[in-house]
Structure 1
């Protein structure tokens, strides 16, 4: 038996209330998966839990669903945040996909002095986050913030502890920095060339910032992003949860 498609909708979900699909979702169901009216789907919106539903109608770029039964109640998303220097498009898309799988609640691209990308396509990244959330069975989709200069993102930060990957390996190991900590937490990863000294000095002046090293090897930005998030989930996140 084929896997039941799982779709994110920005619509209220309740028993018997018909909801419309996005045109791309209708095309995917009919043109790619060859589904038809009456076939089952799973729906979630980040607010009302996950619902078992049926396709009420499907024609070209139009489809609608009728939720029938709540399969999983809504649970709060994790307050685990990723700030990452803008990198090349393919690497940024991979970071967003993996950060979604790792439970991140916010992805904030930032521009640093050594950033290799001058713009970030937030709309496309939002789509990648939605697809990843559908695939990994999350009940929420992470928020993709508009890219902004690093100093502006730091000025707007709410004081949540922010751990910064120290490519110079001058800081203590990430596991040591995380000892005794719990979410909410943020993880900041710099560009391929690393932060400039002035940027590091600015970071160290912020009372909410702590630098942390990720071992003896130089990591690519995307590797550092995912490795750091995995360590944070293992030591301070929900990987030890029974949920």
Structure 2
């Protein structure tokens, strides 16, 4: 998106976006623009929906409960959705929000909570996870909001992996892995779609690690001599993937 528009508020909407179209915001977004940001008729914002790119829009109505915007021009083309899968054992609320936001920023295309033996929480508010992904996309100029899937048990994930994921390789963050550096192991997966799985704070159980390591599609990697918190490991792992075989190259 041109830097001239970078300072404008960005909102994710569900409606189709096209030249000369109009978008009526929902009550929550209307209040945000008109009451919180104090935007008035004639002010501009950027809208995106994950399908039609980013569009410059202008307020044609500033009623606090029903803002309407007219679409002026596309300011950025739609980006292709990312194929990077990210799975993680859910953390407590604030850190859960953090990993969803950071996974979105780091270019994950699919985000899925995975329930393990030592997972800290098992009941998730799916709508909150989706809202966090959308908020991160709004703040970071991401045009393809990742798909946030419902939580799944680890055993079910592994049982269904090859049927649902095909040739995708699963990179497992494993502090006990023998590899001194993950670079060569990740580079060896170039040409394959990949996923990253981060376990809970207590780590995977012995049985879970045995099951994971037995899968032909799993590559276990170490992040070096230090034990990372789960949320730190998520950012580190996604950064490594993007830098070595992803869209940072």
So what's the TM-score if we normalise by structure 2? 0.92
1:87 is matched with which residue: 91, 97, 113?
91
Determine if the alignment matches structure 1 residue 166 to structure 2 residue 174.
Answer: yes
Query: What is the match of residue 6 of structure 1?
Result: 10
Q: CA RMSD in A?
A: 1.6
Number of matched pairs:
240
| d(CA) in 1 for partners of 2:93, 2:215 | 30
Determine if the alignment matches structure 1 residue 113 to structure 2 residue 120.
Answer: no
Determine if the alignment matches structure 1 residue 150 to structure 2 residue 160.
Answer: no
1:233 is matched with which residue: 222, 227, 242?
242
Query: What is the match of residue 76 of structure 1?
Result: 80
Query: What is the match of residue 231 of structure 2?
Result: 222
Deviation at 1:173, TM superposition (A): 2.6
Query: What is the match of residue 128 of structure 2?
Result: 124
Gaps of 5+ in 2: none
TM-aligned CA distance change 1:121 to 1:171, over 3 Å: farther
TM-aligned CA distance change 1:182 to 1:62, over 3 Å: farther
Deviation at 1:183, TM superposition (A): 5.8
| d(CA) in 1 for partners of 2:26, 2:107 | 25
Preserved contact between residue 177 and residue 220 of structure 2 (Cα < 8 Å) = no
Query: What is the match of residue 30 of structure 2?
Result: 26
Deviation at 1:172, TM superposition (A): 5.4
TM-aligned CA distance change 1:50 to 1:183, over 3 Å: farther
Determine if the alignment matches structure 1 residue 16 to structure 2 residue 25.
Answer: no
Query: What is the match of residue 206 of structure 1?
Result: 215
Deviation at 1:216, TM superposition (A): 0.6
